[in-house]
Amino acid sequence: MVGAELVTALIGTAPRVWHGVEKLAGPEDLDALLAGLALRPEGRVLEPAQVEAVRRLRSELRTIVDGAEEGEAIRLASALTARARASLTLTGEERWRWTYEATGDLADELAGIAGVGLLGVLRTLGVERFRACAAPDCEGAFVDASRSGRRRYCMPDLCGNRVNVARHRARRRGASPG
């Protein structure tokens, strides 16, 4: 689910997660994040004002993931989709088709994608899939859209590895004589 991945990726750029370091500092950071999610806007040059608007969106997303009750999460996610003038329709092939009117505002378009992703997770998996990172020194949060629902870390490559390394070192210290 690209919308859920977008939410998690944006939340993961916040200074709160990186102990005061902004990981969405400029247009090049936003471009790299969107490229990693295959959401790079074709032919669009990103501006600092767009980065600031996406940071505000990031705060809205964090509010939803941080423990909004289900009804409130649905209301807030629905408001995000409305910003992109989005619609979800059933086509003749019995498939859902996501369409939106391009507003020219990147943050609103991303809000629509994120909103649809959040609503999809809420509908199919439930609000309990909005979680805080299990790493003791991390302030991250994420949307667990995995099939098994066992994801524990906002950034498994980073937070999960840190926890595993700490456990390994603790075991080695415990096993050493003396």
Question: For residues 109 and 42, is the Cβ–Cβ distance under 8 A?
Answer: no
Q: Which fold has domain 2-175?
A: Jann2411-like fold (1.10.3300)
Rounded CA separation 61/54 (Å)? 10
With contact defined as beta carbons under 8 Å apart, do 41 and 89 qualify? no
The model's pTM: 0.84
> Where in 15-155 does DSSP place strands (E)?
86-90, 96-100, 130-132, 141-143
Per-residue pLDDT of the chain (178 residues; tens, 9 = 90+): 799 999 999 999 999 999 999 999 999 999 999 999 998 877 888 999 999 999 999 999 999 999 889 999 999 999 998 888 766 555 566 666 655 555 668 999 999 999 989 999 999 999 999 999 999 989 999 999 999 999 999 998 888 878 777 777 888 887 655 4
